[in-house]
Structure 1
């Protein structure tokens, strides 16, 4: 085991980075990070410098012996890295705004990881990830790539299906957020709670919940029913409460993103209303980020500000840093990641990427055996996996006809004529990032 680690973070100028710094500081006794290289592109240079200065103040305050490097040279950062983390957005928030507003013009929900918006996020992102993998093959062939870049599961599907690089793990904070929510509802100690998760990224389900080894799944379902009964629409998270009778029949804990499919019309009406008023989640996030970076630039700030939680990145450091810590220290604990199914869930092929509870070892994640998904959720997951596989193929082969098939297959669209119109307009809007189509 190496006594000191070099970690490269692609998208180091992200507003999420203070979460990551905090996570490494908290684990400095077990995770000996010596060098942290923050990488960004020319358009993100100013933010990168602000984040790097804040990171240096944070490690100085904690008296942590971590060298912070900021660079626009990705290859310099990757050379001899032990872990590579990714948290970038191709096209920045302007691209996300188009992902949300263009589909809305045609009465289709636009969102960062769902429907046409999620598809175009992937079409822009996958080629960049494949380039990063090529660099890693040359410069740090033993590194693990931990990708928090959305859409996390679809990106992992592309890398693990179309490259020879197997040390790639997609990561999302949703399962940790769900577990904390359950613990708050039931007043439970999080360290004593285990939820068995299976499904896909942003389409994952808590199948069983255990507290100190005892199955408390039925009590959790009833607590969720009670929580949803009198809950109103939540503007901040664009969430809609489920009917209690629906949750009882679902009989598992749903990802919040299931609302985009099982409360489709309500979610769509809110999105279309926002679009009419020329506001969307991307615009909200732009304001949050502008306020955050003003705070980050304050030379007196040397901790992660509380306001970062509004960005949607809560528990990111727990997800990313726990995973790196467990691989490095061969902890063999259970975490939820996006990886090859390899027999974990019978609803998916072995070579398909799933989001699933895994034992984390120094050889990587080993999926727990979850049998089949319940019939009430298996169908929607298979639809999304079809969409993911077609989108990944379109991104790799630069094939517009496959992209049309992918968009048509998505449950938010399922209309080939509408898909064609949206596809053409979004191809034009994002042409700068879609070279080769």
Structure 2
């Protein structure tokens, strides 16, 4: 088989190298074309060197086409992976630090809340530009596989406004599936699940083992697990009150709802600092910063390490390679995918992007009808969907009033801030991120005028309830194996050591 696969944002070492390994572990794919593109020439060069070394040492005759020219990379591509982070870590820092001034304490800030909404404003405008390039130069039957966050917002915009077939992909379902199995003392492959909802708020509505329904026993299993009882307090509390376990980590989930991070003095009751993903303030920003710094510093040593082996038993769990394998070979793959609802979940809006089970083979992707979510779970999702819809329309139209309404409707922002504070918060974030927000030129000019006029609402010099210092390269060098693992993984919370708190 020969077809072209392009990676946009290929300088993302965690995703790019792992996804390429997964793809080239498929025997039929040893003659495909591979193209990398990134706006950072330095990152592009390093990742290309490393991946080309892997290819060469596996004896494959594939030469990566690496170029900063996105249209050249996309030309004639049949499959495109988007692993971009628009604005990079510079913008990400604004997503975390500016809301902290207003008392909004986020662990991640890439899906909802103030950070996720602004991340969407940057990402959507660029994703629509990417879609334009795809329509003009990629293969006519091209499929865009989007790994970029905020997953639902970006995938929504690509479907409604981009004119490109798009599937949103995430590893959250796999992670929670593994936790449920561990809680019951079982292997993951022994536990059958049905998981449905929206990205990062997907619910395990059916859990079975050998045909026995364990769904109502999940709470007891987690409450009896010595580690999860400490590290997943928010998820267990939501499970107790809504009846179903949610895909996302303690830290992620805590910032999507209004109850667990709104009072600084209570945050530490709900989180754990054993691992960042369990609730650390700005935790994902910290580990991403450390990972980037370590990769750049330690890169020469990466080339001395053994190459990835392209073997079936070395493949990761990311859905992307399995989807392409199923489409090209006909081997059936079952996963969980982000698609337009269109009645799949009957008590969520038809236009929303839902995360649901699906099957892929040579005939395409087939999504079974899920039906109604439990009414409480649907209510949680519907609040988030309203925020997503407002944020998408704001980003597409450069409408700062819709952006402000999205912030007001966000559960945690609304729990912490009053309307006047939200208006000023949006002004600050628009001005700080001006260079990534071309659609907001008029609104940013007006925001600058308001911010310079004086009489501003006082803000706080607040570092958050659980902020840890970014480690220096020298500190990272004290545990090189952990530093390298963090830099290399796409799922930077895959391994969660026992709690220390």
Q: Residue 49 of structure 2 aligns with which residue?
A: 53
Determine the C-alpha separation between the residues in 2 that align with 1:318 and 1:278: 27
1:72 matches 2:68: yes
Determine the C-alpha separation between the residues in 2 that align with 1:151 and 1:88: 11
1:190-216: per-residue Cα shift (whole Å, max 9, x none)?
A: 344332111111111111123355433
Matches within 5 A, 1:87-236: 87-110=83-106, 111-140=109-138, 141-165=140-164, 167-227=165-225, 231-233=229-231
1:300 matches 2:295: no
Q: TM-score, normalised by structure 1?
A: 0.87
Which of 244, 259, 264 in structure 1 is aligned with 2:261? 264
The Cα of 1:180 is off from its aligned counterpart by: 2.1
Unpaired stretches in structure 1, ≥5 consecutive residues = 234-239, 306-314
The Cα of 1:30 is off from its aligned counterpart by: 4.4
- Counterpart contact for 1:222–1:248, Cα < 8 Å: no
Q: TM-score, normalised by structure 2?
A: 0.76
Could you say if the C-alpha distance between residues 392 and 420 of structure 1 is closer, same or farther in structure 2, counting changes exceeding 3 Å? same
The Cα of 1:332 is off from its aligned counterpart by: 4.0
Which of 414, 418, 422 in structure 2 is aligned with 1:419? 422
The Cα of 1:372 is off from its aligned counterpart by: 1.6
1:389-433: per-residue Cα shift (whole Å, max 9, x none)?
A: 110001111111111111111111224222211110000000001
1:252 matches 2:262: no
Determine the C-alpha separation between the residues in 2 that align with 1:365 and 1:228: 40
Q: Residue 237 of structure 1 aligns with which residue?
A: none
The Cα of 1:182 is off from its aligned counterpart by: 2.3
Determine the C-alpha separation between the residues in 1 that align with 2:130 and 2:113: 26
Unpaired stretches in structure 2, ≥5 consecutive residues = 310-314, 441-501
Determine the C-alpha separation between the residues in 1 that align with 2:226 and 2:339: 31
Determine the C-alpha separation between the residues in 1 that align with 2:235 and 2:134: 47
Determine the C-alpha separation between the residues in 2 that align with 1:32 and 1:230: 42
Determine the C-alpha separation between the residues in 2 that align with 1:178 and 1:63: 36
Could you say if the C-alpha distance between residues 304 and 29 of structure 1 is closer, same or farther in structure 2, counting changes exceeding 3 Å? closer
Please report the RMSD computed on the Cα atoms of aligned residues, expressed in angstroms.
Answer: 2.8
The Cα of 1:98 is off from its aligned counterpart by: 0.7
Q: Residue 390 of structure 1 aligns with which residue?
A: 390
1:36 matches 2:31: no
- Counterpart contact for 2:105–2:281, Cα < 8 Å: no
Determine the C-alpha separation between the residues in 1 that align with 2:228 and 2:176: 19
- Counterpart contact for 2:125–2:395, Cα < 8 Å: yes
Determine the C-alpha separation between the residues in 1 that align with 2:429 and 2:166: 29
Q: Residue 333 of structure 2 aligns with which residue?
A: 333
- Counterpart contact for 1:34–1:67, Cα < 8 Å: no
Could you say if the C-alpha distance between residues 190 and 245 of structure 1 is closer, same or farther in structure 2, counting changes exceeding 3 Å? closer
Determine the C-alpha separation between the residues in 2 that align with 1:73 and 1:98: 28
Structure 1: 4+ residue segments shifted above 6 A: none
Could you say if the C-alpha distance between residues 64 and 340 of structure 1 is closer, same or farther in structure 2, counting changes exceeding 3 Å? same
SS in 2 for 1:356: strand
